[in-house]
Structure 1
């Protein structure tokens, strides 16, 4: 009886979707002049209905059978281009379906076919989802079937399995911001966890509070010599950028070499949406995998999973367009209301935001669900939506509130899938850093950090920078130091010294002099550019500088001539006043890195408002010290051991790595010891073997049903080349 009931329920859903699609086609035929379901002589309503039923049935059948083959043929097309082709491919299938109508009455212009196909797919998807929501038993049965299928495919027996762990990283969400989202009702799923099943533990980042340093330390156990998001390496003359594929591969190689270990996920793990693989064999949207080229690395093959179902493809495409429209409306509202601080949000940014908050989120969540149903031991996934929006809209507000609601729905969907997995799962939620608000350095003072450095060196700067108070003061300081005038329009004699390289990582700036070997000392800088350090240290937008002295070793410079050797540096005093606990140790650790810049510049920080000044175009920033950016969170099930002893403090991404590794071993029996994992497991390609459950929970913008293979690049990050 149960099997007949299941079959009958499935058949009823198919009939209902078919009827709704038929009515939709009839309605569109009445509205769109270039879409016809009748002959020129006209037809009865019954004849029109039969024609529409034929067309809707043929379109649905073609979508189910032909669409996956068409998508597979377009695997070599760039991912974002394929996303735009979804509408046109769907329209082509509709034209074919109309030709299959026996009466021959169906006809549509190509551009109209695109519209009709998109509307029909969206309506069919919404109807199917609505029916599934009303049938909770069917949803649970489908999850169970998928779990059994994946278990059999991986050779797992039905005996009880030890618990697995799924780590979900909410990129850029600080501990205080998470509490605020929970307290204001934006994240009911997380709120329910906090009320009984999970504990919340804050932790503190290193000086470089950004995804590159934090995630490398979390996944591979070492973020040594990662002084910032981007930095200059003198021996190679290259700028390392954490979200560039080649740089990410090199950073992962260095970490594996230093730890002699493959990574957190080297044993039956999966890495989803991350910069680094963590040693997992199963990867999707992992940047280090995107850097490789070869016969087995078809980086776009994973998009087959995403677009193989036309309803899902259209739904995601529609959500993508809606997110672009949402961003345009929100940025327009900010301009009209003259909200401050505010940055420009035009150009490609609306599309980049939509990719991060819709496409990347959906694909990552679908991949995680597939991993759960496949029974993988460990999964680590990064959801970047909040971080992307917070950079441009600020850490808190209406824009980010909407992101939190969608993230919570994604977490609920993952938790639901975990309940149907072939093994129990412990869900750990964590973040890699927070976000600190504040007006940009350029907006506040009229010039960039690069302009200020060049002015302090006596080098030419743009006219707009010369006219600012900061630029004028810097140029005056140069004239006084050199005892000679430096006037506008003055031609400078050729210098053998190269211009300084000035890089920004949120509110952390790095100044390097390429023509010197190793770190340039304070004394050398004073001889070459006698006004530079004074100009920077006394600027109101700068909190402190780290330089190396021949006499005192590394020193911290602050305003009014403040100078403290690192050996005597203490929290809350001198240049570090107001920066909080642990700041001195973070600075001391960074000073030991071989690639620490000649001048490390941290912006000012106002403890009363929590604001900093980013050296990039970001009103929500991270990368240095100051405020919530240095205080992420770790939300773990109470059945796992406490991250640190009672009253202790969790400091640094490397310590977080050891905590997560310990949790993986709890309840698993004998584990692969640290150092024994194969180094070759640095994100090797492989199929995920994933069939994600249908988004049957009625969630807005739910992830698609999908089967993911291979790996593909994180286009949102790589395209932006900014602090993540």
Structure 2
């Protein structure tokens, strides 16, 4: 790529002193000075024992803060980059406070003295500045964009210098011309919810793309299980059948697997990664469950680590006054907002609803912080010119679990994600490539009162009621060979283990090393299958009975050939149910029994086996209705996109279309290359 060169001093001066540039810089300086003056005046007024609040002294302190910041911030940023990871986070938290502390210590008027007093005043000033900046922006992302642009231009200038080019540091680098693909996953957003929000005019960025005809939107069917790990295993690796649910039990090792635990996610990825993932050719994974065989993996669960020294976007976000400090202050506001919204639900007696206290109070601001970090990391990779980037934004999914997928607070999160897409669009001119954008989700969500709320008992308690054993001489689990060490530490588990993922549950008879068919289950627990199938909260039970059979309260459906006896239990779950269940039965580590909760025929609501008002994992409602928004001039060539593996194949084809993914040779080409000349 040619490097832009400023060939004479006159053109450089014109670039520096262009009227729009002068106006923008002057406005930024005036705003910064006014903010600092107000914050310092307010802070000094609050502090006990301050001898003077003279305006001239405060103006001098404003200048001193600017001078100290100009000297220290580059040094602090360098330190943050050098530390990487947790060191960057810790130093980033205190970077702005350090600048303020030094300025207050150097204040000639000496209105504050003593480290505790100066430190508290600095902390108060930084917090007030973050709040005031947010108020100035009126909820927009202008300041965030300006900081990201500064970061991206710096990265591209360094890249140009490393390439041997000459570049005047005050001039904007020309945008890249090579193509690239940016894939942003809006976690948990169903196609009906997104379409409704666009029609309501609540998503200006996506709505503008669709109305202008640059992009088009369509739904795709996730299949079973409708969870992030299964969908991302398919989208990123084409291996969704390796994952039977969000959680599952492995009889071979006696271990419960939870796919969002880093150690488990790493083990899962090792099983299906073949080096041919979606992001294999120099791609970047940000905030995902699995890496897609990316070269650069940032905040990816299967490679659990904070971004290292090379991730300048992480360091810049942590050290910036408009980065971590802003997100931390706004996170406190999110907690207050959450408490207010939960109280409104209780006062209005809004149903269905669940408790929104406890860990969720921490999850909500954490997801907002993660969103801002992810956007900073995307901006950095765009500046570096990464050929393909895939990032998962989880804000909507986290809130919808506890508030409901179409409730106002969930839609507010979706609107904030739309603003983030607008930020990426505004940053595109600073990118090292000409990026096309694909927006997609991994699943939807279905609403409903929980199983416990509807029936007064948990699924575990129901299973316990129906699990009176017929014999006392059932075999124990096989013993380990002498001296052998298991791959994973085994922990004691119940003879009947219930593992739930939304309104999907897997039941394991843990004493038996193999998967049992119905005759053996009936022999051990005669009431179990029939009792569960007749429970009003359970829509169907899938069991092996000379092939997989879905058993309901008044009939059964043989999945292999479609034979129905009595009332078909699959009718409430839509036209894909049989294929979904049959495919799920071929997944690794499937339970001895598979349960799906019942679906309300009027509202399409499901009853999650977990305490979530918005859930996904099983069948029923919108949880299997994912969406994809892609450039309108790109064709869908893989049918109805049935399942995440089909989405993987489509994205691979688009990457090949752009020329950023090398096409593997066909079998005949391999033969010709290997044949002797």
Q: Judge conservation of contact 1:17–1:128 (CA < 8 Å) in 2.
A: no
Deviations 1:261-319 (A, max 9, x none): 43100112111110011111112110011079xxx978999743321213422211111
**Which residue pairs with 1:208 in the alignment?**
225
The alpha-carbon deviation at position 145 of structure 1 amounts to 4.0
Whether 2:368 is the aligned partner of 1:362: answer: no
**Which residue pairs with 2:171 in the alignment?**
none
**Which residue pairs with 2:244 in the alignment?**
227
CA distance, structure 2, for counterparts of residue 638 and residue 252 of structure 1:
33
Deviations 1:164-219 (A, max 9, x none): 11111110001101101111121111111112111212111121001010011000
Q: Judge conservation of contact 2:538–2:597 (CA < 8 Å) in 1.
A: yes
The alpha-carbon deviation at position 101 of structure 1 amounts to 1.8
Structural mapping, 1:581-600, within 5 Å: 581-600=575-594
Q: Which moved more, 1:425-434 or 1:24-33?
A: 24-33
Structural mapping, 1:131-280, within 5 Å: 145-146=153-154, 148-149=156-157, 152=160, 155=163, 161-195=177-211, 196-256=213-273, 260-280=274-294
1:567 to 560, 563, 582: 560
CA distance, structure 1, for counterparts of residue 447 and residue 402 of structure 2:
10
Deviations 1:230-271 (A, max 9, x none): 111101101111111122112212222xxx443100112111
Structural mapping, 1:53-202, within 5 Å: 53-58=62-67, 60-61=69-70, 64-68=73-77, 71=80, 77=86, 82=90, 86=93, 90-107=96-113, 108-120=117-129, 122-123=131-132, 145-146=153-154, 148-149=156-157, 152=160, 155=163, 161-195=177-211, 196-202=213-219
Q: Judge conservation of contact 1:122–1:311 (CA < 8 Å) in 2.
A: no
1:289 to 303, 316, 337: 303
Q: Judge conservation of contact 1:205–1:433 (CA < 8 Å) in 2.
A: yes
Q: Which moved more, 1:586-595 or 1:533-542?
A: 586-595
For these two proteins, the number of residue pairs brought into alignment is 624
**Which residue pairs with 1:403 in the alignment?**
413
CA distance, structure 2, for counterparts of residue 140 and residue 214 of structure 1:
31
Alpha carbons of 1:153 and 1:170: their partners in 2 closer, same or farther (altered >3 Å)? farther
**Which residue pairs with 2:512 in the alignment?**
516
Whether 2:384 is the aligned partner of 1:371: answer: no
CA distance, structure 2, for counterparts of residue 280 and residue 317 of structure 1:
30
The alpha-carbon deviation at position 416 of structure 1 amounts to 1.8
Q: Judge conservation of contact 1:78–1:300 (CA < 8 Å) in 2.
A: no
**Which residue pairs with 2:341 in the alignment?**
330
**Which residue pairs with 2:607 in the alignment?**
613
Whether 2:622 is the aligned partner of 1:628: answer: yes
1:666 to 649, 652, 657: 657
**Which residue pairs with 1:686 in the alignment?**
none
Structural mapping, 1:414-453, within 5 Å: 414-453=424-463
The alpha-carbon deviation at position 508 of structure 1 amounts to 0.2
Q: Which moved more, 1:144-153 or 1:517-526?
A: 144-153
The alpha-carbon deviation at position 22 of structure 1 amounts to 4.6
Deviations 1:476-514 (A, max 9, x none): xxxxx99xxxxxxxxx99996852111100000110011
Q: Judge conservation of contact 2:224–2:584 (CA < 8 Å) in 1.
A: yes
The alpha-carbon deviation at position 31 of structure 1 amounts to 3.1
**Which residue pairs with 2:535 in the alignment?**
539
Q: CA RMSD in A?
A: 3.5
**What SS does structure 2 have at the residue aligned with 1:280?**
coil
Q: Judge conservation of contact 1:541–1:604 (CA < 8 Å) in 2.
A: yes
**Which residue pairs with 1:652 in the alignment?**
643
CA distance, structure 1, for counterparts of residue 101 and residue 219 of structure 2:
56
TM-score by length of 2: 0.84
Alpha carbons of 1:299 and 1:372: their partners in 2 closer, same or farther (altered >3 Å)? closer
Q: Judge conservation of contact 1:67–1:309 (CA < 8 Å) in 2.
A: no
CA distance, structure 2, for counterparts of residue 581 and residue 78 of structure 1:
52
**Which residue pairs with 1:468 in the alignment?**
none
Alpha carbons of 1:281 and 1:20: their partners in 2 closer, same or farther (altered >3 Å)? same
**What SS does structure 2 have at the residue aligned with 1:600?**
strand
Deviations 1:141-177 (A, max 9, x none): 9698457426526759989744211111110001101
**Which residue pairs with 1:505 in the alignment?**
501
Alpha carbons of 1:213 and 1:299: their partners in 2 closer, same or farther (altered >3 Å)? farther
The alpha-carbon deviation at position 636 of structure 1 amounts to 0.8
**What SS does structure 1 have at the residue aligned with 2:543?**
strand
Deviations 1:667-703 (A, max 9, x none): 3188241899xxxxxxxxxxxxxxxxxxxxxxxxxxx
The alpha-carbon deviation at position 118 of structure 1 amounts to 2.1
Whether 2:60 is the aligned partner of 1:34: answer: no
Q: Which moved more, 1:155-164 or 1:267-276?
A: 155-164
Q: Which moved more, 1:65-74 or 1:104-113?
A: 65-74
Q: Judge conservation of contact 1:262–1:675 (CA < 8 Å) in 2.
A: no
Q: Which moved more, 1:312-321 or 1:664-673?
A: 664-673
Alpha carbons of 1:302 and 1:251: their partners in 2 closer, same or farther (altered >3 Å)? farther
Deviations 1:381-420 (A, max 9, x none): 1111111011000001111121121111001111222244
CA distance, structure 1, for counterparts of residue 264 and residue 614 of structure 2:
25
Alpha carbons of 1:400 and 1:318: their partners in 2 closer, same or farther (altered >3 Å)? same
Greater length-normalized contact order (CA 8 Å, ≥ 6 residues apart)? 1
The alpha-carbon deviation at position 51 of structure 1 amounts to 4.2
**What SS does structure 2 have at the residue aligned with 1:640?**
coil
Gaps of 5+ in 1: 460-480, 483-491, 677-724
CA distance, structure 1, for counterparts of residue 410 and residue 661 of structure 2:
43
Alpha carbons of 1:371 and 1:452: their partners in 2 closer, same or farther (altered >3 Å)? same
Q: Which moved more, 1:210-219 or 1:664-673?
A: 664-673
CA distance, structure 2, for counterparts of residue 577 and residue 130 of structure 1:
46
